[in-house]
Amino acid sequence: MFIQSCFQKDGGRHTITKTDDENQDEHSFASEIYKGTSKEETVMKVNHLRVVYHTDDNETVAVEDFSLDIEKGKLISIVGPSGCGKTTILRCLAGLLQPTSGEILVNNKKCVSPGSDRGMVFQDFALFPWRTVRQNVEFGLEIAGVSKGVRKERALKYIKAVGLEKFADSRIHELSGGMKQRVGIARTLIMHPAVILMDEPFGALDAQTRNIMQEQLIKIFEQSEKTIVFITHSVDEALYLSDRVVLLSKRPSIIHQIIDIPWERPRNRADPEFTNLRKKILDYLAGQNVIG
Amino acid sequence: MKLRYDVHNKYHRFAIRSAVTVASLIIFIYVWWIAAMLANKSVLPTPYRAFEALLHLIKDGDPVQKGRTLWSLIWLSILKLGKGFGLAFITALPVGLLLGNFKLFREFFSPWIEMMRPIAPIAWAPIFVILFTVGNGPVMVVFIGIFFPLLTNIIFGVQKIDRTLVDAARTLGASDWQIFTKVLAPSAVPYVMNGIKTGLGVGWMCIVAAELYNTTLSGVGYYIKFMIDCSRYDYAFAGIIVIGILGFLTTGLAECLSRVVSKRMGVDIR
């Protein structure tokens, strides 16, 4: 019943997949050039999302009227003060949490439950410890009933894409944090989701690994032309990675500001424009946290 | 004297450990011997008499009931243990998964479990022998002895499952049934193994205790009781040694198995 995704069950996901792969091989970085100029197609639409948590004697409004259009091929990050309901929003987008009201559309179809059209990458990796790296990456295909040989071949391709080809048969506990999250990303990428949802994916990693992972994510993002919604605590990370930053207020979250980031990648963290914008956002967040 | 030792050579460490084990066994027998000499009663034979009887038992079988070998005694006990264990496993597994997953069931059944669990399984023996016949009574005692530790471990295991793994499976398109077979079941395996480990230890105790009832007519426990009735205490002690060794082997095997499984599943629950 969870596979009531927004695609038809027999839908052309695997055909889409093939063209995606071909594009990836032929164009690679070329997509960067026309990304801004091509007409912007909305993959995911969030309309008036509202989430209320009920406890024994009171109710807390976690998210108040959150609406957002997510265009194809964009990396959008959601930033907000601590405890503002960022993760709540992302869980709603993934279908893991039912919003109190409002709706979520993927390719104009309403989503009410999780589905493999929206991939999710978790902060604590959420890998299956009894499976090897390859078996973890294969999980979604196995669920979809793809045959063993095809599964293996495609899994190895994605494991290679995240640079773990030497560890395909390793067990999860043998990997470092950064490697674990790369498995998590490969496991999501292999399903060719319309949107990849990332919940503070690098939050559990040390600063150096985090920087390396950011570079890798940009590379993957540019090569695969994926649409990514990224949640982070780090303003620096948001500005470094995203096309657009959605700045939330404190709980109950409403969108305070949507900032389009015009800079080309790779970005320079020491650039005065970069540092200015970062300071502005940090000041806003600090104000929100103090009042809250 | 140095009571802590810290040796990095693998063989060296093994040698020290073996020496300690051997010394421990020798001193154990020595203490037994002194106790037997001091008591000076036939009801507590010296280790020499007991091991002599054990050798006879291994070579010639039961001195009273001719034609019954030690191995057939052991086999009869193991058979009962196996039946009781199998029965406990196939009932505790579905019940445990059900109670672990659904709070309502858990709340309904927990008074039953908490009432039944503290009862010493052996207390049921006289009743079960009448209720389930002489042959099956001890099996049911084993069943009840293993069932509860297994059940509580499985319930605990299911509740300990990492919910984000379930979330991950759902976002990858898994159905309820697929989540059950591909996420919940494998994550509960180490806990099930832990239950098996405790269950087997308890089961082994139960089977021998249940066999001590005169009516059961088979197995190592019955043999001990029979020898005591015949005042052949040395042979009774030989039976007790057999039980000790078999119990040690059973729990050792379960421990090994549980370690292998934990490693295979990538989960360390200790």
Q: How many domains does chain B have?
A: 2
Closest approach of A64 to chain B, Cα-based (Å) = 24
pLDDT beyond 80 at B130: yes
Contact A191/B172, CB-based, under 8 Å? Answer: yes
pLDDT beyond 50 at A7: no
Instruction: Tell me if B270 is assigned to some domain.
Output: no
Bridge partners (DSSP) listed for residue A101 = A50
- How many residues are listed for chain A in this entry? 292
Contacts of B184 in chain A (CB under 8 A): none
Nearest to B85 by CA among B188, B186, B181, B205: B205
**Orientation of helix B70-101 relative to helix B219-229, angle to 10°:** 130
Rounded average pLDDT over A21-34: 40
Instruction: Tell me if B107 is assigned to some domain.
Output: yes
Residues B9 and B62 in one domain: no
Contact A122/B168, CB-based, under 8 Å? Answer: yes
- The DSSP call for residue A132 is B
Chains A, B: CB contacts within 8 A come to 79
Measure the CA dihedral B150/B152/B153/B159, to 10°: 140
* Among candidates A122, A140, A173 on the partner chain, residue whose Cβ is nearest the Cβ of B173: A140
Closest approach of B168 to chain A, Cα-based (Å) = 6
Identify the band that residue A10 occupies on the pLDDT scale cut at 50, 70 and 90.
very low
Contacts of B161 in chain A (CB under 8 A): none
- What is the reported pLDDT for A21? 42
DSSP states along A238-288: HHHH-SEEEEE-SSSB-EEEEEE--PPSSP-TT-HHHHHHHHHHHHHHHHH
* Among candidates A129, A143, A172 on the partner chain, residue whose Cβ is nearest the Cβ of B172: A143
User: Cα dist. B104→A73, B61, B99, B107 in Å?
Assistant: 46, 54, 8, 5
> What does the pLDDT look like over A120-163, one tens digit per residue?
999 999 999 999 999 999 999 999 999 999 999 999 999 998 88
Contacts of A119 in chain B (CB under 8 A): 171-172
> What does the pLDDT look like over A40-97, one tens digit per residue?
688 898 999 998 888 888 888 888 888 999 988 889 999 988 778 888 899 999 999 9
Instruction: Tell me if B6 is assigned to some domain.
Output: yes
Contacts of A191 in chain B (CB under 8 A): 172-173
Long-range contacts of B213-218 (CB under 8 A, 24+ apart): B213/B125, B213/B126, B213/B129, B213/B137, B213/B138, B215/B129, B215/B134, B215/B137, B216/B129, B216/B134, B216/B135, B216/B137, B216/B138, B217/B134, B218/B73, B218/B76, B218/B77, B218/B135
> What does the pLDDT look like over B30-78, one tens digit per residue?
999 999 999 888 888 888 988 988 998 888 887 777 677 888 888 888 8
Q: Does A4 or B220 have the greater pLDDT score?
A: B220
What CATH number corresponds to the domain at position A94?
Answer: 3.40.50.300
In A, minimum Cα distance to B190 occurs at: A130
Contacts of B172 in chain A (CB under 8 A): 116, 119, 139-140, 143, 187, 191
Q: Which of residues 67-106 of A touch B (CB under 8 A)?
A: 94-96
φ/ψ of residue B68, rounded to 5:
-100, 115
Contacts of A144 in chain B (CB under 8 A): 173
Coil, helix or strand for A1?
coil
Contact A95/B183, CB-based, under 8 Å? Answer: no
Contact A2/B175, CB-based, under 8 Å? Answer: yes
pLDDT beyond 80 at A39: no
Contact A129/B176, CB-based, under 8 Å? Answer: no
* Among candidates B162, B164, B173 on the partner chain, residue whose Cβ is nearest the Cβ of A2: B173
Instruction: Tell me if A292 is assigned to some domain.
Output: no
Residues B24 and B151 in one domain: no
> What does the pLDDT look like over B3-31, one tens digit per residue?
666 667 778 888 888 999 899 989 999 99
Q: Three-class SS string for chain B?
A: CCCCCCCCCHHHHHHHHHHHHHHHHHHHHHHHHHHHHHHCCCCCCCHHHHHHHHHHHHHHCCCCCCCCCHHHHHHHHHHHHHHHHHHHHHHHHHHHHHHHHCHHHHHHHHHHHHHHCCCCHHHHHHHHHHHCHHHHHHHHHHHHHHHHHHHHHHHHHHHCCCHHHHHHHHHCCCCHHHHHHHHHHHHHHHHHHHHHHHHHHHHHHHHHHHHCCHHHCCHHHHHHHHHHHCCCHHHHHHHHHHHHHHHHHHHHHHHHHHHHHHHHHCCCCC
- What is the reported pLDDT for A22? 41
pLDDT beyond 70 at B161: yes
Contacts of B162 in chain A (CB under 8 A): 126
* Among candidates B171, B176, B267 on the partner chain, residue whose Cβ is nearest the Cβ of A118: B171
Contact B173/A130, CB-based, under 8 Å? Answer: no
Residues B62 and B23 in one domain: no
Contact B74, B81 (CB under 8 A): no
Instruction: Tell me if A273 is assigned to some domain.
Output: yes
Contact A24, A192 (CB under 8 A): no
**Quick one: tokens of B82?**
């196996």
Give the mutation candidate from B160, B161, B171 for the A interface (greatest A CB count, under 10 A): B171
φ/ψ of residue B154, rounded to 5:
-65, -45
Identify the band that residue A34 occupies on the pLDDT scale cut at 50, 70 and 90.
very low
* Among candidates B172, B189, B266 on the partner chain, residue whose Cβ is nearest the Cβ of A140: B172
User: Cα dist. A239→A33, A204, A258, A268, B147 in Å?
Assistant: 20, 19, 12, 10, 58
Residues B145 and B130 in one domain: yes
What CATH number corresponds to the domain at position B209?
Answer: 1.10.3720.10
Residues B79 and B34 in one domain: no
Bridge partners (DSSP) listed for residue A257 = A247
- What is the reported pLDDT for A1? 36
- What is the reported pLDDT for B269? 54
- What is the reported pLDDT for A15? 36
- What is the reported pLDDT for B216? 62
Residues B24 and B144 in one domain: no
Interface residue ranges in chain B relative to chain A, Cβ cutoff 8 Å: 162, 164-165, 167-176, 178, 182-183, 186-187, 189, 264-267
CA distance A270 to A267: 9
Residues B26 and B78 in one domain: no
Residues 6+ apart with CB under 8 A from A49: A63, A65, A66, A67, A89, A92, A99, A101, A102, A103, A104
CA distance A254 to B187: 39
Q: How many domains does chain A have?
A: 1
Contacts of A113 in chain B (CB under 8 A): 170
**Quick one: tokens of B248?**
């040690």
The average confidence (pLDDT) of chain A is: 82
CA distance B108 to B90: 21
- What is the reported pLDDT for B214? 59
DSSP states along A54-73: E-SS-EEEEEEEEEEEEETT
Q: What angle do CA A116, A155, A96 make, to 5 degrees?
A: 20
Residues B31 and B123 in one domain: no
Residues B77 and B104 in one domain: yes
Is A112 in CB contact (< 8 Å) with chain B? no
Range of the domain at B88: 44-264
**Quick one: tokens of B209?**
């205790």
Residues B30 and B144 in one domain: no
In A, minimum Cα distance to B186 occurs at: A130
Is A5 in CB contact (< 8 Å) with chain B? yes
- The DSSP call for residue A82 is T
Is A140 in CB contact (< 8 Å) with chain B? yes
Contacts of B164 in chain A (CB under 8 A): 122, 124, 126
CA distance A250 to A254: 8
Identify the band that residue B215 occupies on the pLDDT scale cut at 50, 70 and 90.
low
Residues B12 and B98 in one domain: no
Is A9 in CB contact (< 8 Å) with chain B? no
